[in-house]
Amino acid sequence: MKYYIGIDLGGTNIKAGVVDQKFNIVSKATCKTNLPRAAEDICKDMAKVALEAVKKAELTVDDIESVGIGTPGTANSETGVIEYSNNLGFLNFPVVELMQKFIDKPCYVENDANAAAYGEFVAGAAKGANNAVCITLGTGVGGGIIINGRIYSGFNFAGAEIGHTVIDPSGPQCTCGRHGCFEVFSSATGLVRMTREAMFADRDSIMWKMNDEEGKISARTAFNAMRAGDKAGKEVVDKYIWYLACGITNTINIFQPDILCIGGGVCNEGDPLLLPLKELVAKEIYTKNSERNTEIVIAKLGNDAGIIGAAFLGLNKKKEG
């Protein structure tokens, strides 16, 4: 059996896992990222949790084939350098070179959303596809694109920023500086903002009671209110799904992937989200009369997608070669 290390570097946590050749996570380890601090110290902790995961799996470094790292920001997969990550404070950080000083194995780096998409491609909802797009609905809207079985990241390794395509130029300003980005409306953050706006427009909404009981407004609030028969809650959900369908339709029209999978906590809503979403997209896509249309599915791997995808970045590089 062959084993690989996948590292998911996040702004809050560093997670590492040992993954076998059948895409099963054998063991995991984690620690806090503890930002802000030096990139070298973060890399040291990545190696530490990776080796901890190896120990938990009752293996040694000799049993490991390679190490893969998924990171926020622009990661040059050819040079092994994280060219820029605003969340982590990295600028031209040679992460592969340093990691190999700690773990003497082939090492690869890729953007975290691309790594997660590759995880879904090799072992999750997009398994068996040739071309796939994965969209994650979290704090922002992350994107990962697989074309002919390979990660597509553009000539400058900054591609697949699907969340920063504009779907309403008159919409709210995005953190990227543009107005009305897909991310502004379809992220969990955007859903919370629209929920809050609807509550202040309707003081009789049951969402006020939910806010008092839960102590906060969440991405679940509008969906829960809709299920309770609340008009304002339903209006928020309908609006959210409309914007989500718009962004997904644009993505399908550009790439025409075999499969488009969506992930993130919002997707836990299941059919109340997925069924009206599919119906709207079917009406809007350019290929509406085709017998072969993109299948929209919910991502399967959850938080493990980044670890599994990172673990097999070496496989992606072999396909590129």
Task: Supply the DSSP symbol for 123.
Answer: H
What is the pLDDT at residue 150?
94
What is the pLDDT at residue 102?
96
Q: Which of 280, 221, 225 is nearest to 247 (CA)?
A: 280
Q: Which of 78, 149, 85 is nearest to 112 (CA)?
A: 85
Indicate if 134 and 254 belong to the same structural domain: yes
Indicate if 85 and 154 belong to the same structural domain: no
What is the pLDDT at residue 258?
96
| Confidence label for 50 from pLDDT (cuts 50, 70 and 90) | very high
What is the pLDDT at residue 319?
67
Q: How far apart are CA 176 and CA 182, in angstroms?
A: 12
Q: In what order do the strands lie in the sheet with 74-76?
A: 74-76, 81-85, 90-93
Indicate if 259 and 160 belong to the same structural domain: yes
CATH number for the domain harbouring residue 79:
3.30.420.40
pTM of the model: 0.90
Find where tokens 């340093």 sit: 98
Indicate if 292 and 313 belong to the same structural domain: no
- Count other C-beta atoms under 10 Å from residue 41's C-beta: 10
pLDDT higher than threshold 70 for residue 43:
yes
Indicate if 136 and 110 belong to the same structural domain: no
Q: How many CA atoms lie within 13 A of 205 on its CB side?
A: 29
Q: How far apart, in Å, are the Cα atoms of 194 and each of 131, 197, 201?
A: 33, 5, 11
Indicate if 18 and 96 belong to the same structural domain: yes
Q: How far apart are CA 294 and CA 296, in angstroms?
A: 6
Indicate if 105 and 146 belong to the same structural domain: no
pLDDT higher than threshold 90 for residue 290:
no
Q: What number is the average pLDDT over the span 315-319?
A: 75
Q: How far apart are CA 167 and CA 169, in angstroms?
A: 7
Could you give the 3-state DSSP secondary structure of residue 267?
helix
| Domain span holding position 273 | 130-299
What is the pLDDT at residue 320?
63
| CB distance 134 to 120 below 8 Å | yes
Indicate if 159 and 251 belong to the same structural domain: yes
Could you give the 3-state DSSP secondary structure of residue 131?
coil
Q: CB-based contacts of 127: which residues, under 8 Å, 6+ apart? A: 120, 121
Indicate if 89 and 10 belong to the same structural domain: yes
Indicate if 114 and 19 belong to the same structural domain: yes
Count structural domains, the chain: 2
What is the pLDDT at residue 321?
55
Indicate if 181 and 102 belong to the same structural domain: no
Indicate if 55 and 189 belong to the same structural domain: no
* 218-276 pLDDT, tens digit each: 999 999 999 999 999 999 999 999 999 999 999 999 999 999 999 998 999 999 999 99
